[in-house]
């Protein structure tokens, strides 16, 4: 038995490659992926009714992911906005909040909003590693 495989977008749950497996002998077809005990697709597969729709139409439906496309678009916009500046490059605008990556005296690193006043960063026991304009996240110009 030599099954044909049509590859589709990855599993939305675990990211493994998905394919439509077609049994040449009985014509049965199913969406499935390789063994992954961490994913629900390890326990079942989507049996396709060949009389209901063609493989190409099943693939088109599987690959149509408007929510995933919208989220990826939002992520691309956010990554474009989040242009980190190194700490050596100070903000040109004072008296504003910025999103910062901070490091404590103990070496712990985290991100948080911090104020950049007329005398510099308002930080105690921590140091700014890098920052970006938080107002851009809300449609601001700075």
- Please choose, out of 3-11, 52-60, 85-93, 100-108, the segment that lies near Zn ion by the rule CB under 5 A: 3-11
- Minimum CB separation of residue 127 from Zn ion in Å reads 42
Q: What's the sign of the alpha-carbon dihedral 75, 76, 77, 79?
A: positive
**CA–CA separation, 126 and 122 (whole Å):** 10
Binding mask 38-77 for Zn ion (x = CB under 5 A): -x-x------------------------------------
**CA–CA separation, 43 and 39 (whole Å):** 8
Closer CB to Zn ion, 41 or 116, in the complex: 41
Cβ atoms < 10 Å from Cβ of 128:
20
DSSP H/E element including 46: strand 46-48
User: Does 102 participate in binding Zn ion (rule CB under 5 A)?
Assistant: no
Closer CB to Zn ion, 19 or 41, in the complex: 41
Closer CB to Zn ion, 8 or 128, in the complex: 8
User: Does 109 participate in binding Zn ion (rule CB under 5 A)?
Assistant: no
User: Does 11 participate in binding Zn ion (rule CB under 5 A)?
Assistant: yes
What is the DSSP pairing of strand 120-121 with strand 85-86? Answer: unpaired
């Amino acid at each position: 038995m030599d099954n044909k495989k049509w590859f589709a977008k990855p599993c939305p749950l675990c990211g493994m490659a998905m394919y439509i497996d077609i049994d040449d002998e009985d014509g049965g077809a199913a969406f499935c992926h390789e063994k992954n005990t961490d994913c629900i697709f390890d326990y079942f597969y989507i049996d396709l009714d060949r009389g209901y729709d063609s493989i190409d139409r099943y693939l088109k439906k599987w690959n149509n992911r408007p929510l995933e496309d919208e989220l990826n678009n939002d992520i691309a916009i956010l990554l474009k906005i989040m242009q980190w500046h190194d700490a050596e490059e100070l903000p040109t605008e004072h008296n504003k909040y910025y999103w910062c990556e901070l490091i404590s005296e103990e070496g712990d690193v985290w991100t948080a909003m911090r104020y950049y006043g007329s005398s510099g960063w308002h930080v105690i026991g921590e140091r700014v590693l890098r920052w970006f304009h938080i107002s851009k996240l809300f449609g601001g110009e700075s």
